[in-house]
Chains A and B, each alone.
Chain A
Amino acid sequence: MGEFLILSLLLSSFLAGVLNSLIDERASKTRILINLSAGIYKLFVVFYLFKNKISQELYFEITQGVEVALKVDDFGLSFIILSSFLWFLTTIYAFGYLENSENKRRFFTFFNLSISSTIGIALSNNLLSFFLFYELLTLSTYPLVVHNGTKSASKAGGIYLIYTLSSGALMLTSLGLIYAQGGSASFTKGGDLNLIELADKNPTLAKALFLMLFFSMAVKAGMFPLHSWLINAMVAPAPVSALLHAVAVVKSGAFGIGRLIYYLFGKQQVLELGLYEPLGYLAGLSILIGSIFALFQKDIKKRLAFSTVSQMSYILLGFLMVGEGGINAGLFHIFAHGIMKITLFMCAGSYENALGAKKLSELRAVGRAMPMTSLAFLISSLALAGFPMSLGSKSKEMLKQASISVGFWWVGPLLLISTVLTFIYLVLPALRMWVGKAPKDKRALPKAMSLPILITGALSFAPMILGGVEGGNSPLRLIK
């Protein structure tokens, strides 16, 4: 049963991807049926796994002594819950968004394959499996980045490949080093025994390994100064930016860093190696620089992308403040940022689809024409900036608390500055949408596009208003 469930998680969207590649371009109804049933099935499995703990592990030996290991644990499950749920909503959104465009068949094929790789990343129980799915994610997201087939899309795709393949090469090198020492780098709570031993015997090598793995994952997490691919990738269609560049891809990087610190090296060793401090400063810098660059972007999606650079580093900073508080803060912000940012990206896609507006300056008074979308945009912006009672404010609170234990005194002031900057670059434009005369030539949008936005928009405040996030039925109970 357990094995079947693990495989269902992985294969439901994989098979959906294969089926999508087989059906005709014009068979819209079949396409909707395939994607929705795969989505519902996956949500059902995820719900079952959330209610019933299973501790089964799956192994496949690729070659002698090298195996792929899959397992569902709390840390992974929380990421699976987030990505399956948001994947389902984005799929619905994508049906509306791509209604009149070409190559839907290819789009949904790779969309499903990339989410399948993301689930694989969450299920991985050793570094080799993680690496495998990490590369598969690169491979399956590349066609989505270049989906439009324009010159700028090709260029963005090239930059994306250079960044992600280099990060893959770095991770492969560290894998080789670990396996050459006889280790297998399995994810164990408290750290992999081989690596702990290695860190005792040869701290220099351990430090080098830690840094290599950290930076190979930081590329996908879009951390400054490795963020340039993310900004360029904004040429992709909105659903891609929404799911992949706010949730699946960037969060996989952050998730990997969580695994690296808490499951590969272990808290104790990371504290002893002492690298968390300089890397913490870098994450702090990334928060600041992302917010500042966001101020100067005229394109909505690029502004949101820089905001992602900044917000992703909240997560990394959380993980780097080694301790219970740190991992919880990081994991919580994975959820919080996912929900808030996906709303914003989907709104940006709706504006583009309805009005052809890509620049913020073209969004004046758009609130009159598209009230629901603009309301969701406003709410999520407020939440992202950390308005009281929002998911964003809870993350900031958790981060501040975690900073005490490692003595990062600067985290409080930094978060304050970031809050102010977020207000300026996001909340002010969101407010400006309600002033002025409504634009006239607006295309009516399909319902499939507004429903997901309203759900995720509401979610950026609802959990806190409805009574906190720690309850037994909240998926966040996994974050202890």
Chain B
Amino acid sequence: MSSELGLLVGLPLLGVSLSFLKKLRGILLFCVSFLTLLLSLRAYFKKNGFEEVGGWQVPLGIGLRLDELSSSFILMTGVVCFFVFLYALSFFKRAPGFFWVFFFSVWAGLNGFFLSEDFFNLYVATEVLSLAGVSLVASSRTNRAIKASLDYLFISLIASLIYLMGVGIIYLRAGTLSISDFASKESPSFEYALGLIAISLAIKCALFPFHFWLAPAHASALAPASALLSALLIKPPAYLIARISLEFETGELKLIFSILGSIAIAFGSIMAMRQQTIKMLLAYSTIAQVGYLFLMLPLFGFEDFKQDAIKAMSLHAFTHALAKASMFLSSGNSIYVSKSDELSLMPSFASSHPLTFFGIFFSGASLMGLPVSGGFIAKFLLLKTSIQVGLYHIGLVAVLGGLLAGLYIYPLWKECFEKSDKKPSGYIPIWMEISVFSLGLISFIGGIFGL
């Protein structure tokens, strides 16, 4: 099929329109999700490809490009979205149509983002993602959520403006927006342009010190929405920064980002340890895990170790996405039973709900970067290459970050086992458990298969 890559964006868009149906919605949307998952798998195994949408040639038309880095991000999106879909089917007994609209917009936006190869399409995809993200946060309709979503909206708009400024400079000077075309030209003002773009991306990614909007937004959304936000929506900006680092010489900026990443890991982990509610804990964990994606940036600058760095990045992103989605969905299970987000009221899943427990167990281990998860291989590669190139702080932070993760995952595991009369117990719909379990399991054993 010649328009496979186009379909990766097109099918979810079809899902958006199908969301307005009243009858047959569930089954049709399931078909759309399943087909998109299959396409993502196919794209992952194909690993490279280039396609011009509708036959219009670049630069006038839209070019979609698939390579090693983007294919693993596509797969990550596919797997997470598919299981979140299954989960949400049970979670919203009578699903409000608007959830599906935003859900499929996110999916389409993500696939579009990872396949795009010019700065303008990337911008469009980012805007789609931001708006869908803001709406997802607001859809839980509590005061807290509305406030958080407004903050999120403003910060995204500011970031978008900065981004546009960068893109404007590039277009003025280089006359092109395609990343690969642009990489071949040189001009001193590009550094400023790239700097602006990078800063805007760091804001959208909630890299320390731009993290303040993330925790309230991710924690106040409903569980399936939080899973999408925390697992997937923070990945595109990091992906683009990695792309830029691969193509351009941005020496000092990379180092600054790497240091900010280290601070993010320490800060996020320590804040996560101090939280009393499950979702805030997980949201701070996301701030910490975003740090890794920036921590490893300097390694992209070394020709000999590019491959290792790409591998580490895609492994970390994939493992974190699945594990964090599993965690947030499990927080939904906990709230489903106890009607509360309190950590101490989390049901003793290890005795009552084995599937959810194993989901939390596996995804916790993946977040810590224990073998055999992909997180472990990523950590190992980071450690090895950072010693080889002499940037020891990267390896050190990666190892210590794993330990810190252990400290904030421990309360979750502890609550799974602890028995107490205060703790509620009750029925959880089976597909909600299966989604949690599958995401956790895949994130944990993914390392064996090089995911």
Query: Hey, which bits of chain A sit against chain B, CB under 8 A?
Result: 21, 60, 62-64, 66, 102-103, 105-106, 131-132, 135-136, 138-139, 142-143, 146-147, 149-151, 153-154, 157-158, 161-162, 165-166, 168-169, 172-173, 175-177, 179-180
Contacts and interface: CB of A to CB of B under 8 A. Distances in A.
Contacts of B173: none
Contacts of A138: 370
A169 B372 contact: no
B377 interface: yes
Contacts of A105: 354
Contacts of A154: 414, 417-418
Given A106-B354, A150-B419, 5 more contacts: A147-B417, A149-B350, A149-B419, A165-B368, A180-B387
8 contacts: A103-B350, A106-B350, A131-B371, A150-B419, A157-B410, A157-B417, A158-B414, A176-B399
Given A146-B417, A173-B399, A63 B410 contact: no
B377 A177 contact: no
Interface of B: 307, 311, 348, 350-351, 354, 358, 361, 365, 368, 370-372, 376-377, 379-381, 383-385, 387-388, 395, 399-400, 402-403, 406-407, 410, 413-414, 417-419, 447-448, 450
Contacts of A165: 368, 402-403, 406
B384 A180 contact: yes
Interface of chain B: mostly helix, strand, loop or mixed: helix
A169 B403 contact: yes
Contact of B399 (A135, A143, A169): A169
Contact of A172 (B380, B406, B447): B380
A142 B448 CA distance: 22
Interface of chain A: mostly helix, strand, loop or mixed: helix
B79 to A, nearest CB: 20
Contact of B418 (A139, A149, A176): A149
Contacts of B307: 64
Contacts of A146: 413-414, 417-418
A64 B311 CA distance: 10
Given A21-B354, A62-B450, A63-B450, A176 B371 contact: no
B380 A176 contact: yes
Contacts of A166: 403
Contacts of B372: 132, 136
B350 A143 contact: yes
A313 B380 CA distance: 31
In order of increasing CB-CB distance, the 10 nearest A-B pairs are A176-B383, A180-B387, A149-B419, A132-B371, A146-B417, A165-B406, A154-B414, A179-B384, A180-B388, A135-B371
B417 A143 contact: yes
B98 to A, nearest CB: 39
B83 to A, nearest CB: 20
A204 to B, nearest CB: 15
B219 to A, nearest CB: 24
Contacts of B350: 103, 106, 143, 149
Contacts of A142: 413
Given A63-B450, A176-B395, A153 B387 contact: no
Contacts of B361: 143
Contacts of B414: 146, 154, 157-158
Nearest to B415: A154
B255 to A, nearest CB: 20
A176 B400 CA distance: 14
Contacts of A64: 307, 311
B396 to A, nearest CB: 8
A387 to B, nearest CB: 41
The winner among A62, A154, A175 for most chain B CB atoms within 10 A is A62
Contact of A149 (B368, B399, B417): B417
B348 A149 contact: yes
Contacts of B400: 169
B447 A62 contact: yes
